[in-house]
Amino acid sequence: MRFSLKQYSTLPGFGLTLGYTLSYLGLIVLVPLAMLFLRTANMEWSQFTALMTNPRTIAAFKLSLGASLVAATINSVFGFIVAWVLVRYTFPGRRFMDAIVDLPFALPTSVSGIALTALYAPKGWFGAPLTFFGIHVAFTQLGVLVALIFIGLPFVVRTIQPVLEDLERETEEVATLLGATRWQTFYRVIVPMLLPALMTGFALAFARALGEYGSVVFIAGNMQGKTEIVPLLIMSKLEQYDYAGATAIAAMMLMLSFVLLLVINLLQRWNRKSI
């Protein structure tokens, strides 16, 4: 005589929860994104090509992509160092420093933009001495880079930190016993294990910087062809009631975001396999 125990769940059954999930995602995510592509599809190909090859559009994409790439690279280097210090060393104020890393997450982007502008303005605390040496940050492309570094650092640190905490010290000790120097242990043992997490942090910082608006709009100066980023260009198109142009540029950014999302998912899968 066989007895079967029916598994009960606190939530409704699979069919009902799946329906709610698909409906919610469809209304909140898929429908707005689909309307973006539909609005862009109303443009003629010649109009779309002319918009994307416009010098102003090209300059905005070059600045957004280039500054985001450089900022993510810098954050990968220094974010790795910050994560290493927070995990491997004990010192007074470590918890405070660990909390400070999350500050760009908590601050509204407009607040961080105003703060950075005040610091790096020609008469600011940092801007005044830099201006004395002929280095101008605020209202230049360098200011855009500074803002993107500021908002992207936590993504690298918080991606590397848990992986670094899970690394077994015994592996490093074995390498040392086998005659490896500190540099060889770091380069051949530690770096390969942290590389997937480092690449994931780089991709997350790059994706975050690519779509940043609030912290950049104040410090950039927003000069056409020089310090105008893509999100600001979209806003300018909307203010001029050029909805077709704004949606076309937004659709291009959305496709870039899809590619980045795919890359991030692949890197995260690689990271899980390497742990």
What is the model's pTM?
A: 0.84
**Per-residue pLDDT tens over the stretch 195-228:** 888 888 988 898 889 888 888 988 888 888 888 8
CATH architecture, range 50-106+153-210+226-274: Orthogonal Bundle (1.10)
CA atoms within 13 A on the CB side of 144: 29
The token duo for 134 is 């002929």
Q: How far is 134 from 248, CA to CA, in rounded Å?
A: 39
Query: What is the Cα–Cα distance from 71 to 136, expressed in whole angstroms?
Result: 18
Contact 130, 137 (CB under 8 A): yes
List helix spans (H) across the chain: 14-25, 31-41, 45-52, 55-88, 94-100, 103-106, 109-120, 127-132, 141-166, 169-177, 182-185, 191-210, 214-220, 230-239, 243-274
Q: Who's near 125: CB < 8 A, 6+ residues apart?
A: 119
Structural contact between residues 137 and 127, judged by C-beta atoms closer than 8 angstroms: yes
Q: Quick check: 160 and 83 in contact, CB under 8 A? A: yes
Question: What tens digit of pLDDT does each residue of 143-173 get?
Answer: 999 999 999 999 999 999 998 888 877 777 7
